[in-house]
Structure 1
Amino acid sequence: MNETGPDTTDEVQDRRYRAIFECAVDFAIIATDRDGRVMDWNPGAERVLGWSAEEVRGRPADFFFTPEDQEEGRPQVEMQRALHAGRADNERWHTREDGCRFWASGEMMPLRDKDGTHLGFLKILRDRTPQQRARERQAALGALMARMRDLDDPYGIMLVAAEALGRTLGVHRVGFFDVTDDYTLSFTVGWADGTLPLIVGTWPATRIGTAYLAEVRKGAVIAIADTTRHPLTTDSAFAEIGTRALVGFPVIRDGRWVAALYVNHAEPRAWSPEEVAFVEAVGGQAWDMVQWAGARAELRASEARWRGIFEYMHEGFALCEMVYGPDGTAADFRYAEVNQAWERLTGVPSDETLGRLASEIFPGIERFWTDTYAQVVETGEPVHFECQVASIGRWFEVYAYRTEPGRFAALFLNVSERKAAEERQTLLAREVDHRAKNALAVVQAALRLTKAPDVASYRTAIEGRIGALARAQSVLAQDRWAGADLRRMLEGELAPFLGAVAGPEARVQLTGPRVAISTRAAQPLTMAVHELATNAVKYGALSVGAGRLSVSWRLESASGGLPLLRLHWVEAGGPRINAQPQRRGFGSRMLDGTVRGQLGGKVRLRWEASGLVCEIEIPLQAGSGLTDTPGFSAAD
């Protein structure tokens, strides 16, 4: 007989799981029943979240979710996902017992017994706030670099950097100062959130403290949590300007302290190593950009200074020599030297570039490049141009100068994103021009065809029709010219007559699914609805207090399987209609022209005794203009 001894395998395994549960102090491990109530809460959960196991046992396990996540039912959604998929991964903000938020990465999984019976859930999460903050700081640094690259003014670069740094770290004041040869601090530019005033003017360097001055002259980045208690600032004037905590980033050039970036806080604050590293990164990048902005201005006057600033450039730089054919004409050019930014901007490693011809690196490169650089070398005239290297699909903005006979230098930026944005802007301008012409054509038709007994009536009619056109443009603009929501269009057109089109007491009822109307169809359909609304207010159901209007719509399949929009306009409770009008006015012609002529649809008018009934059909087919792309959006 094979005996297992006093401890069964299950008991050993249970003790092992319990040991893991208790020892995993870096992980919050929470066990709940099937209803999501806390059954077990490990020491890691106490450390990460702050509550003790006794405080939370039996509570619904949603109290450490943020209020907004609780309101949206995220805990319940997470349990359902875990139950159906076997696990639910997530990264989101949670709250601790003291109310502070932290970023957590975790997962939830269902707990089952050996027979597969669902017993509850197990949630495991870990505090990843430092990693999230690092990602946020990295994103802020990337956005800052993009902004600074577009600036030529050194003061503008420093101001952008100071504001970005201040807002990202949540501090009260950030700024820059220059250091003169006699160690006078000249405060150049800064940013403050209003808690502390900006620092202006000049200071003798001794005001920052003798010990502090000695350290920054060595190039040390200094972070002080409380200036009133730190030995480096006991004899400083920081208290006079409200600075209790600070980070100082000195700029050392050729062994001399020449400038600094300072970060000030009005209250004591412990700086994390990541925050100090972020200050260093921003300070270094900002200073490099400031230097490059000044250097770029000098380069326009003296090409010989390219070599002096070569290593400080964030823009791409290449020193090249022309290659000529047997007949003496420029045939190619060879790369003699490139900077580190070259590889980032072109995607070609620098070690695969030096000494090679452009035609080898970029097969099929456009002849324009060789001809343009040859002109620079032969005439000595610098050029500024933009051109695409089709083989790598990138656009570059280039400044090229002759440095010596047969050689030239090229400073360049990757402007592919800007070129794409300009192309989109050009397309948008064409679209706006097209729509403006269409709008003017509608206005012209309204002016020509509107009939009225007197000037005042004529003006009212014209203003209403042009107002409808303007409202259509506004709805399209709100949706970024991607189309207009049909319900919003109807509400916007009917609200001026009634004040509101919603609620149980509303005189107008709108019923139908969500339908996106294309930019081409929105204007004519709005004009058609305006004519119907104007007629209802002047002669129909909306001309009396007891009148009511119902507008409904639905989507159907027409012959051939094409979608069809049906709009049903029904008036009731207005003046009794005894017969169909004999005269066909502008409104009727507008309905027919827009629905039939522009949208390829049908319109039917019935003058029933209880009020006007209008049925509009608009097919979704080529040329109908209902949508800009195949299909349409519809939702209940």
Structure 2
Amino acid sequence: MDVDGRFAKPPQRRNNHPARSVTPLNTLHDHAVTVPDREAELEAEIGRLRRSLDEAVRRTAKDVPAATAGHERELADARAALALAEARCAELEQVNVELVASRSLIANSEARYRLAVESAKDYAIFTIDLSGRITGWNSGAQNLMGWTEEEAIGAPANLIFTPEDDRAAIAETEMRLAVTEGRGEDDRWHLRKDGSRFWANGLMMPLRDDEGGLVGFLKILRDRTDAKRAAEHQALLVNELNHRVKNTLATVQAFTTQTLRSAASMNEARESITARLIALAQAHDVLTAENWDGADLAQIVADALRLHGGDGQRCQWQGNAVRVSARIALAVSMMLHELATNAIKYGALSNATGEVTVTWTMREAESAATDAKLRLSLRWEERGGPPVTPPTRSGFGTRMIERGLANELGGEVRLSYEPTGVICTLDIPLEMG
């Protein structure tokens, strides 16, 4: 159609171009008939596909609830397992927290235990295994016994026992008592590393594990050497005191009896007895001040002479500085009292011009008759008094000096009545105080 609305004429074909073939009418008719059939087939196929799809949707819709339920069950099971795992994880975390706290408590407890053990420096504390070897050693054990921890660990526990206790298997006995009685306790001598001995109170106890099984022993020692020495010294003093009291009473009884027999009157007897008691008491005072461990001989001599008026002009004394035992101190004191009393009544101290000299020396013992390595020689000498004549009879003082002292001190005593004055010599084994 052209612009005017009219049908344009088809262009004229040139003769030099071949003409297109024309489809016959019957062929066009056949083609027109075939297309609707194809569309019908397509529609039929689409219908079939739709039915198939609907059937598939129906089947799918029918199957979905069962599949969904299965998945939901699986999901529920998984969630339950997850919750259980989370609960278990929480429990494990709580257990871990408790374990950490427990380990902290144990560490703190061990620290406090070690601190307590190491701070107990007055106590030797160590552990022993079932074979009897040392497995632990605190600083108190090192301080008391001398072995370091490195030296003690692995050593047998009986190294601290004396040879006699080791032969008697005392360590094994203590272990047995610890197991059967719950503890083994005793007081005995033990050894230090340097070989010296110390007295200790010992306690052995069993070590057990959490199940109650025996795994070793705990040994605790406390040094009680000073207390032991003090007890021994006290026992010695008590025995010595008993001995001294008996000797003192015997001495008092002897000089009282003899004085009463020989005294011309009761007044004379009273004065004589009183003087001897005072001399004895003064000697006791000197020894008491020295805890009865002995006395200085010079002090014994000086006190005895001063008691009888010796002023250092008419009575002089000189000798080596020496401490003598209590036994010698008492005997010498009583001897000097009797000599001084006799000198005041009859000898050098009975006038205004007489003098008394007391001297003493020490020398080595010439024989091994006694344990003493030294001997004491003491000399009493009077001069300037009235002429001396030997007595016709021996009084109590003379007998006590010549016989009593010789027997008491295991030595020799000699009394010589020289015209110029009395001389008394004493030679005895020296017991140092």
Scaled to the shorter chain, the TM-score interval is 0.5 to 0.7
Structure 1's 417 and 514: CA in aligned 2 closer, same or farther, altered over 3 A? same
Match of 2:384 in 1: 572
Q: Superposition pairs for residues 62-211 of structure 1, below 5 Å?
A: none
1:371 Cα shift?
0.9
Question: Equivalents in 1 of 2:322, 2:149: separation in Å?
Answer: 51
Retained in 2: the 8 A contact 1:353–1:361? no
1:592 aligns with 2:433: no
Retained in 1: the 8 A contact 2:259–2:396? yes
Retained in 2: the 8 A contact 1:318–1:335? yes
1:448 Cα shift?
2.5
Instruction: Deviation per CA, 1:65-116: give whole Å up to 9, x if none.
Output: xxxxxxxxxxxxxxxxxxxxxxxxxxxxxxxxxxxxxxxxxxxxxxxxxxxx
Tell me which of 318, 331, 337 is aligned to 1:524.
331
Q: Superposition pairs for residues 383-398 of structure 1, below 5 Å?
A: 383-390=184-191, 392=195, 393-398=197-202
1:590 Cα shift?
2.0
1:492 Cα shift?
0.6
Match of 1:379 in 2: 181
Retained in 1: the 8 A contact 2:320–2:361? no
Question: Equivalents in 2 of 1:596, 1:569: separation in Å?
Answer: 19
1:337 Cα shift?
2.9
Match of 1:533 in 2: 340
TM-score w.r.t. length of structure 2: 0.57
Retained in 1: the 8 A contact 2:190–2:198? yes
Structure 1's 530 and 351: CA in aligned 2 closer, same or farther, altered over 3 A? same
Structure 1's 591 and 396: CA in aligned 2 closer, same or farther, altered over 3 A? closer
Q: Which SS does the other structure have where 1:492 is aligned?
A: helix
| RCO comparison, higher one (Cα < 8 Å, 6+) | 2
Question: Equivalents in 1 of 2:315, 2:332: separation in Å?
Answer: 18
Q: Superposition pairs for residues 237-256 of structure 1, below 5 Å?
A: none
Structure 1's 307 and 374: CA in aligned 2 closer, same or farther, altered over 3 A? farther
1:551 Cα shift?
1.6
Tell me which of 116, 134, 149 is aligned to 1:335.
134
1:540 Cα shift?
4.2
In structure 1, runs of 5+ residues without a counterpart are 1-253, 255-304, 324-332
Match of 1:419 in 2: 228
Structure 1's 548 and 368: CA in aligned 2 closer, same or farther, altered over 3 A? same
Question: Equivalents in 1 of 2:321, 2:140: separation in Å?
Answer: 49
Tell me which of 205, 210, 230 is aligned to 1:401.
205
Instruction: Deviation per CA, 1:560-599: give whole Å up to 9, x if none.
Output: 69967251431535xx558554343212222222454445
The amino acid that maps onto 1:317 is: I
Match of 1:628 in 2: 431
The amino acid that maps onto 1:617 is: T
Question: Equivalents in 2 of 1:558, 1:344: separation in Å?
Answer: 43
Q: Which SS does the other structure have where 2:205 is aligned?
A: strand
Tell me which of 553, 557, 562 is aligned to 2:359.
553
Question: Equivalents in 2 of 1:558, 1:334: separation in Å?
Answer: 53
Q: Which SS does the other structure have where 1:512 is aligned?
A: strand
More helix by proportion, 1 or 2?
A: 2
Retained in 2: the 8 A contact 1:525–1:594? no
Match of 1:294 in 2: none
Instruction: Deviation per CA, 1:220-278: give whole Å up to 9, x if none.
Output: xxxxxxxxxxxxxxxxxxxxxxxxxxxxxxxxxx9xxxxxxxxxxxxxxxxxxxxxxxx
Match of 1:124 in 2: none
1:510 Cα shift?
0.6
Match of 1:44 in 2: none
Question: Equivalents in 1 of 2:145, 2:363: separation in Å?
Answer: 52
Question: Equivalents in 2 of 1:524, 1:385: separation in Å?
Answer: 43
1:354 Cα shift?
3.8
Question: Equivalents in 2 of 1:415, 1:448: separation in Å?
Answer: 49
Q: Which SS does the other structure have where 1:529 is aligned?
A: helix
Question: Equivalents in 1 of 2:375, 2:162: separation in Å?
Answer: 49
Instruction: Deviation per CA, 1:90-147: give whole Å up to 9, x if none.
Output: xxxxxxxxxxxxxxxxxxxxxxxxxxxxxxxxxxxxxxxxxxxxxxxxxxxxxxxxxx
1:319 aligns with 2:127: yes
Retained in 2: the 8 A contact 1:566–1:615? no
Question: Equivalents in 1 of 2:161, 2:364: separation in Å?
Answer: 54
Q: Give % identity.
A: 26
Q: Which SS does the other structure have where 1:443 is aligned?
A: helix
Match of 1:468 in 2: 279
Instruction: Deviation per CA, 1:449-507: give whole Å up to 9, x if none.
Output: 22324444323222222322233333344556565444322221121222x522xxx4x
1:628 Cα shift?
1.5
1:435 Cα shift?
3.5
1:488 aligns with 2:299: yes
The amino acid that maps onto 1:473 is: H
Question: Equivalents in 2 of 1:607, 1:307: separation in Å?
Answer: 82
1:418 Cα shift?
4.2
The amino acid that maps onto 2:279 is: A
Q: Which SS does the other structure have where 2:304 is aligned?
A: helix
Retained in 1: the 8 A contact 2:300–2:333? yes
Tell me which of 262, 268, 271 is aligned to 1:457.
268
Retained in 2: the 8 A contact 1:487–1:510? no
Q: Which SS does the other structure have where 2:308 is aligned?
A: helix
Retained in 2: the 8 A contact 1:377–1:408? no
Aligned length: 301
The amino acid that maps onto 1:410 is: K
Structure 1's 384 and 591: CA in aligned 2 closer, same or farther, altered over 3 A? same
In structure 2, runs of 5+ residues without a counterpart are 1-103, 105-111, 368-373
The amino acid that maps onto 2:170 is: F
1:370 aligns with 2:172: yes
Question: Equivalents in 2 of 1:616, 1:440: separation in Å?
Answer: 26
Structure 1's 570 and 514: CA in aligned 2 closer, same or farther, altered over 3 A? same
1:547 Cα shift?
4.7
Q: Superposition pairs for residues 175-324 of structure 1, below 5 Å?
A: 309-314=116-121, 315-323=123-131
RMSD: 3.9
Q: Which SS does the other structure have where 1:348 is aligned?
A: coil
Match of 1:207 in 2: none
TM-score w.r.t. length of structure 1: 0.41
Moved more, 552-561 or 396-405: 552-561
Retained in 1: the 8 A contact 2:304–2:336? yes
Structure 1's 338 and 556: CA in aligned 2 closer, same or farther, altered over 3 A? closer
Question: Equivalents in 1 of 2:151, 2:317: separation in Å?
Answer: 66
1:426 Cα shift?
4.2
Structure 1's 306 and 442: CA in aligned 2 closer, same or farther, altered over 3 A? farther
Q: Superposition pairs for residues 10-49 of structure 1, below 5 Å?
A: none
1:410 aligns with 2:219: yes
